[in-house]
Chains A and B, each alone.
Chain A
Amino acid sequence: MTGKASDPEDVTTDRRQLLRLAAAVTAGGAAAWAASCGGGDDDDDAGPTDTTNPQSDVAVLNAVLDLEHLMAALYPLAAARLAGEARALARAFAAHEREHARRLTTTIERLGGAPNGARPAEVYAEQLAGVRGERAALGFLADLEETALAGWGAAVPRLSDRALRQTAAAVLACQAEHLAALRAALGELPALALPTEVAK
């Protein structure tokens, strides 16, 4: 992709709206995840994995499924604010998000869980109300991808099944590629060596 966003619109859309939405759509999965783990402290990421725990894994996967529903809904809406190569890119990434959601849904069902459904379309649509112009839309999507990286990065070590970890990491890597492409469209290079939080 060679096209760069050229219009100088304000990219500082109301990011708080996005964050509130992310919190709202992930709250169900997070609560289920916490319940399945029995509560407790949140800073012990170190140490070896116990044996696989499908119930815990379902809760983790539902948390990221909420996120994928969000991404799958917002990408096409943002794509409508883009043109040319940027629009094609957003549409391609939307297809990736739908595939992530589909794979998560079937995996949760295979584990004996109930996959979370998407929220009503208008809940997602209203988040883009203040996003005007191509550069603002690209910035919004970059924010969305950074949020996705944080979510998937948190999910990988919490999955008890190593095969699920690998699949989750493959999604994480895909989201990282999306972010690199969106940043390039904004005229920026990848910004972080480690784009997800690393527990110390």
Chain B
Amino acid sequence: MSAGPGGALTRRDALRAGALAAAAAALPAPAARAAADDADLARDLAAVTDLLRRERRAADAYAAASQAPQLSARVRRLAATFAAHGRERVAELAEALEERDAPASAFPGVAERLAVRSDAAALRAAAGLERAAVAACHEALGTIDDRGLAALVAAVMAGRAQQLGAVRLELGADPSPAPFETGARVE
């Protein structure tokens, strides 16, 4: 475990070395079935492919917003951060698909634009994008069989929920209005 300046633990160190994570890692996952059912795998891959498309569209939309001159520097910075995070999630999802012989390049994203007339319009559009992504991940977890894909989709859901919370704050709304976030509209 590394330490921050002066030997103090940083919050990232705490996450990496987190006792709970360590405890969780010590807990074995139940044994996998010997062979995946083809139909189940196809369903899992279809769900993850849909999420990959969403991530590509969102990353493209945020990249465009980050260059939009009519937006404030604050919102453009937020969009640039989200675009970078989106590209990371695209790479992770594509890698997971390719590891399961489902080439991600076969599933291109579709261009999407955030409403960038103003900060408020862009943020409202972003909130909708994030909420829909959280909902899609939540729905996918109700069908996905593959534990590795389930872990990845949960991580994507957490990433999009972080973004949803940040966008709500920018809109002056409650960042976490309910104890269970499923992507359902509550604002």
Contact = CB atoms under 8 A, between A and B. Distances in A.
A181 B175 CA distance: 6
A125 interface: no
Contact of B32 (A37, A48, A172): A48
Given A67-B20, A181-B175, A154 B165 contact: no
DSSP majority for the A interface? helix
A76 B25 CA distance: 29
B6 A44 contact: no
Contacts, number: 294
A106 interface: no
Given A19-B17, A173-B157, A194-B156, A151 B24 contact: yes
A162 B143 contact: yes
Contacts of A1: 169, 175
A42 interface: yes
Given A39-B28, A42-B29, A44-B32, A169 B157 contact: yes
A105 interface: no
Interface of B: 4, 6, 8-9, 11-15, 17-33, 36-37, 40-41, 77-78, 81, 84-86, 88-89, 92, 134, 137-138, 141-148, 150-166, 168-169, 172, 174-176, 178-183
Given A15-B8, A49-B150, A177-B168, 14 more contacts: A45-B29, A46-B148, A48-B33, A63-B23, A146-B15, A147-B21, A151-B23, A158-B147, A165-B154, A169-B157, A176-B157, A189-B81, A190-B159, A192-B159
